[in-house]
């Protein structure tokens, strides 16, 4: 008897079809939007990385180069300077790469440079937001270290073996370029050694 009542009537009425169309259509639009956003993000990230690689392959304004650096292990502490050394005689042990809230041993940190580390030094008075920005460069790479440096001549100094750059602010775009170019850079005497 119930089959006679449904005879000739569509299985789904138009309001049900319209409702399903909206549900599936909205889902499809959301999926396509997610795919588009992900693709854009990947392309944008790749473009930024390519731009950084290109900038790192060219001379960087303000970078000083030092050559003829000795590499002897010494037992005495290095004399304090207003800029961190970029190489030379150093301790037999190295500073483990990472983030430090107080000054590190200079002689040991030079040994880290010999292994390809990039060392970010900053004045103890540098604002906390700038320090956080600089620390973000260290957390993304196991061959970088950051620490305050007593009596530093510039607000921020980046050092690698034989290379150094002084900047006034953590927003300076040369920081990322320097770190890209000289972390495990071409002048590293012992690339890949522990840090």
Contact, 169 vs 130, CB < 8 A?
Answer: yes
CA dist 129 and 112 (Å) reads 26
77 contacts: CB under 8 Å, gap ≥ 6 = 105, 106, 107
Instruction: Output the pLDDT for position 84.
Output: 96
Contact, 122 vs 158, CB < 8 A?
Answer: no
pLDDT bin (cut points 50, 70, 90) of residue 14 is: low
Q: What pLDDT, in 10s, does the model give residues 80-129?
A: 899 999 999 999 999 999 999 999 999 999 999 999 999 999 999 999 99
CA dist 161 and 56 (Å) reads 16
| Residue 12 clears pLDDT 60, i.e. is over it | no
Provide the whole-model pTM. Answer: 0.75
Give the C-alpha distances (Å, rounded to integers) separating 96 from 14, 70, 178, 193.
Answer: 69, 21, 20, 11
């Amino acid at each position: 008897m119930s089959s006679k009542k449904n005879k000739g009537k569509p299985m789904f009425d138009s309001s049900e079809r319209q409702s399903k169309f909206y549900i599936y259509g909205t889902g499809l639009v959301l999926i396509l939007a997610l795919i588009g956003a992900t693709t854009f993000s990947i392309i944008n990230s790749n473009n930024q990385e390519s731009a950084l690689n290109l900038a790192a392959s060219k001379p960087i304004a303000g970078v000083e180069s030092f050559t003829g650096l000795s590499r002897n292990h010494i037992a005495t502490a290095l004399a304090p300077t207003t800029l961190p050394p970029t190489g030379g005689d150093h301790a037999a042990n190295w500073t483990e790469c990472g983030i430090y809230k107080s000054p590190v041993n200079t002689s040991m940190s030079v040994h880290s440079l010999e292994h390809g580390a990039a060392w970010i030094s900053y004045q103890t008075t540098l604002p906390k937001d700038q320090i956080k920005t600089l620390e973000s460069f260290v957390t993304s790479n196991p061959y970088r270290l950051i620490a305050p440096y007593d009596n530093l001549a510039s607000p921020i100094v980046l050092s690698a073996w034989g290379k150094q750059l002084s900047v006034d602010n953590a927003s300076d775009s040369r920081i990322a370029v320097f770190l890209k170019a000289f972390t495990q850079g071409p002048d590293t005497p012992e690339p890949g050694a522990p840090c």
